[in-house]
Structures are given as structure tokens and as C-alpha cells.
A and B are shown apart, each in its own frame.
Chain A
């Protein structure tokens, strides 16, 4: 059954040690669209991706991906579900001992029976898409951080997943790389009908391609809707975040006793 939302998150409570990360987070990610997850640092945007990927389990609440409840899946079912998701990690997370070619070929080798010629074809196409076909024989250590992330993107789309999660894809990209990546995320989304989730600090750039925005602040969803509505919103929280003002409902300081007490 096809539902509107590809990912459905309901009343999720998540704690890291004693620190509350989410306290009743509810959000949904529409199918086939680009959803941006934004919010101040340390609000657990990456954690949200890990909950969706089933690498972390919520204390309570429900995370559903395409109707499947991620936290209650068995190990093997979870791994099957993950074949349908691609994830681009902050650091790229390429396999250091494999060449660029083998990195991109890796998901194909473990999950498909394609012969070597076909794998080569797919790998070259994916690398062409991220502009790194020329780097096919290099090792990850020979690439810059930005290039590593593009190779990782090629690897993430190798299996043509239904959903792809980008964790800070634009960090460390020069303006040209940034522009190309933005266009690429948009293209992939439209051409392959992917559901895309982008966690990013580059607010204006991300909003320029997003169809849907989820803003997380103060342990819950502060805003959910289209970028246009967000820009026009007069919610003080959203306003503070969009305009980068130091004062407002979002606290910039990590929780601490008052300065007077700490210094006395």
C-alpha cells in the first residue's frame, strides 16, 4: 500500500545517557519529495537519520519507514529494509582499503548477481553523475574531503534506493561543488523518484531545493511545512533561526548554572 508519507515518526522519546534529545517528536517525510531537516547544532538532526535507519532505537514512540516499524524489525528484516535506503555520512565513510571503484561497486557486489562488466558500467555511470569518473582508480586517501563525500554519494545511489539520507552533504564543498551537489540532489530526486532527506546547516541553499522542511529545536519539531510558509512564518523560533539572531526562544548556550554562580 502506498501512503503519502514515506517516513512516519510518532511521539518519539530518545535519550542519550541522561540528556533528553527528543521529547515527543512527531514528523513525517513525504514520499518522492526533498525534505530538509534543519535546526540549531546539537538538536539531534543526525540522530534522527540514525533512528530512521534503525541504528538507534527510540525509548518510546514509533518510527515507520514505508509502513514498517523500524524499531521492532528483526535484524535480517532491518538489513533488507536498509537495502532500500541510501545514506551519505558526514565523513563520507568510504572503505579505506578499497579503491574508489570498489567502494562504489561494493553494494552491487554484496546485494546483486550482476557480472563484472555490468558492475563496471553501473559504477562508471554513478561516478559520472558525481563528476568523479576520472578518479575511479584512486584510493580514498588520495581524495579531498569534498571528493570523498561525492564518491560516497555515488556509493549510496549504487543500488538505486527508494530513499536517500544526506548528512551534511554540503560541508567542505567549494562553491562550484556545492552548486553541482545541489543540482544533483534535485536531479536524483526528480529523475529516480527518490525520497530525499537532507540534514544541513547551509540553510538558504538547502531551502532552495527543499519541498518540505522539518525544523527541530528544543527537543521537538518546531516547524513543519513548505519553505515558503517557513519564510513567511512569524513564529519567533522560526524567525530567530532563519535570521540568525542570538536572542530568542532557542538558547545558544548549552544548559548550565548561571554565570554568576559559576564564577563565585
Chain B
């Protein structure tokens, strides 16, 4: 019994100190003097690596999710004879929920794991230590550009996901199942509110971006520099990031749409 209680205490303490270290790493990475010109260039390189290279998976997933929404929505809505509301249903599900959440989950798997593995391998091969000895802070040079790249890329990827998803919904609903094109698009336009839906979706996406990228760079920077350590940290990135996204999504949804 005592062991059990001690175990809880120990794990709580270790979680708290993890959180503390992660916060410290983030703070040291993004606060303080930095060479803006050089760092912007590094950030652009990273936006290419984590953002542009994630485009294909985001576009393909967006298209299919939109198509599935079109198909499912149509079968449900026809029961009530209201298939012209399909555009509204597809667009609202995507902007409010599926866009930010699914993009963040895909991003955690595609880019987050890569960030963790890359930083971890740099640590294992002493590249981070050698940066330090050259007099360059690896938090600024390696962690900060990757963090900002994630924070900038994910919301944009999420918007692309939503747009492609709407096209996918139209492809199935309008071109295949024969919903009237005019009512599909005009219903969509009439019901999607910029500040309520699109903007809230973007806010969600920014929050997810910070959390997912933060987890990814922290896990990479803090891992045990062995092959097993890298494997474990990469797994942790995907698991923690996914759980954090889903948990935060509920919380944000409750705050944003709870009173409606």
C-alpha cells in the first residue's frame, strides 16, 4: 500500500519535472536575442521539411474524408428529404472539427515523429553537444526553427485540408449523387460563419500546432541518446501528441461552441 502511494508520488513528481523541463526548453528556445535573418532562413527550410512535404498526405486525406462525409451525409439527409443541406453539413464538420483535429493527428504522425527522430539522432551523434562547444545554442539553432515551422505550417495545412475536403464532398454529393450544385454551395456559404466557424477552427489549429510541435521537439531534445531511446521517444511523440490533441479538442469545443 505504502509502495503504491509512493509510486503515485514518484510518477507525479517525474511528470511535473518533465513538464518543467519542457517549459524551460521552450522558453529558452523562443525567448531572447536571436539572429533574425539566419533564423528565418532556417525556419523556412524547416517549413519546407515539416509543412510542404506533409502536403500530399494532407491533401489525399482531406479529399477522402470530404468524400466520405458527402456519402454518409447524403444517405442520412435523404431520409429527411434535405439533401440540399449537404454542403452545410460537410463544411461545418470540416471547419469546426475534422479539419483541425485530423490534420493535427496526421501532422503528429508525419512531421512530429520525424522532428523527434531528427533531433534525437543529432543528440545521439553528439551534434548538439558539438554545436554547444562551437558556441551556438542548439535550442536556438535547432529547436526554435523547428518549433516555429510547426506552428506556422499546421494551421495552413489545416485550411488546405478543409478546402480539399469541401471539394471532395462536392465531388461525391454533386457530381456523383446528384445534389443540386447551386443549393450545395449556397447553403454552405450561408451557414458557415467566418468568426464562429472558420476563425474558431484556426484557433484550434494554432493551439494544436503549438502542443504537437512542442511535444515533438521536447521528446527529441530530452531523449536518452540510444537507438532504443529514440524509438521510445518517437512513439511517445505520436501517442502524447494525439492524446493531447483529442483532449484539448473537447475542451476547446466546449468553450467555443458550448453555449450554442
Report yes or no: B130 in contact with A93, Cβ–Cβ below 8 A.
yes
User: CA of A111 to CA of B125 in the docked complex: distance in angstroms?
Assistant: 23
What residue of chain B has the Cβ atom nearest to residue A86's Cβ? Answer: B133
Shortest Cβ-Cβ A-B pairs, 3 listed? A93-B126, A93-B130, A83-B135
Question: Chain B contact residues: over half helix, strand or loop, or mixed?
Answer: helix
**Most chain-A CB neighbours within 10 Å: which of B126, B129, B133?**
B133
Report yes or no: B129 in contact with A89, Cβ–Cβ below 8 A.
yes
Report yes or no: A110 in contact with B136, Cβ–Cβ below 8 A.
yes
1/0 contact trace for B124-138 toward A, CB 8 Å? 011101101111110
Asked if A16 is at the interface of the complex by the 8 Å CB criterion, the answer is no
User: CA of A111 to CA of B141 in the docked complex: distance in angstroms?
Assistant: 13
On whether A55 and B132 interact (CB within 8 A), knowing A75-B137, A79-B137, the answer reads yes
Chain A nearest CB: distance from B88 CB in Å? Answer: 47
Binding site for A on B (CB under 8 A): 28, 38, 122, 125-127, 129-130, 132-137
- A152: chain B residues within 8 A (beta carbon): 130
Chain A nearest CB: distance from B93 CB in Å? Answer: 40
Report yes or no: A93 in contact with B136, Cβ–Cβ below 8 A.
no
Asked if A176 is at the interface of the complex by the 8 Å CB criterion, the answer is no
User: CA of A210 to CA of B205 in the docked complex: distance in angstroms?
Assistant: 60
- A155: chain B residues within 8 A (beta carbon): 134
Report yes or no: A79 in contact with B135, Cβ–Cβ below 8 A.
yes
Report yes or no: A95 in contact with B127, Cβ–Cβ below 8 A.
yes
User: CA of A151 to CA of B126 in the docked complex: distance in angstroms?
Assistant: 15
Report yes or no: A87 in contact with B127, Cβ–Cβ below 8 A.
no
What residue of chain A has the Cβ atom nearest to residue B137's Cβ? Answer: A79
- B133: chain A residues within 8 A (beta carbon): 53, 55, 82, 85-87, 89
Chain B nearest CB: distance from A10 CB in Å? Answer: 22
What residue of chain B has the Cβ atom nearest to residue A89's Cβ? Answer: B126
Report yes or no: B135 in contact with A91, Cβ–Cβ below 8 A.
no
What are 19 A-B residue pairs whose CB atoms fall within 8 Å in the complex? A53-B132, A55-B129, A75-B137, A79-B135, A79-B137, A80-B135, A82-B134, A82-B135, A83-B134, A83-B135, A87-B133, A89-B126, A90-B126, A91-B125, A93-B127, A95-B127, A106-B134, A107-B135, A110-B135
User: CA of A85 to CA of B122 in the docked complex: distance in angstroms?
Assistant: 21
* Interface residue tally for chain A (C-beta within 8 Å): 23
1/0 contact trace for A125-157 toward B, CB 8 Å? 000000000000000000000000000100100
Asked if A263 is at the interface of the complex by the 8 Å CB criterion, the answer is no
On whether A96 and B132 interact (CB within 8 A), knowing A75-B137, A79-B137, the answer reads no
Report yes or no: A91 in contact with B126, Cβ–Cβ below 8 A.
yes
Report yes or no: B129 in contact with A96, Cβ–Cβ below 8 A.
no
1/0 contact trace for A87-130 toward B, CB 8 Å? 10111011110000000001100110000000000000000000
**Most chain-A CB neighbours within 10 Å: which of B28, B125, B127, B130?**
B130
Chain B nearest CB: distance from A171 CB in Å? Answer: 14
- B130: chain A residues within 8 A (beta carbon): 87, 89, 93, 152
User: CA of A90 to CA of B133 in the docked complex: distance in angstroms?
Assistant: 13
- B38: chain A residues within 8 A (beta carbon): 110
User: CA of A111 to CA of B135 in the docked complex: distance in angstroms?
Assistant: 8
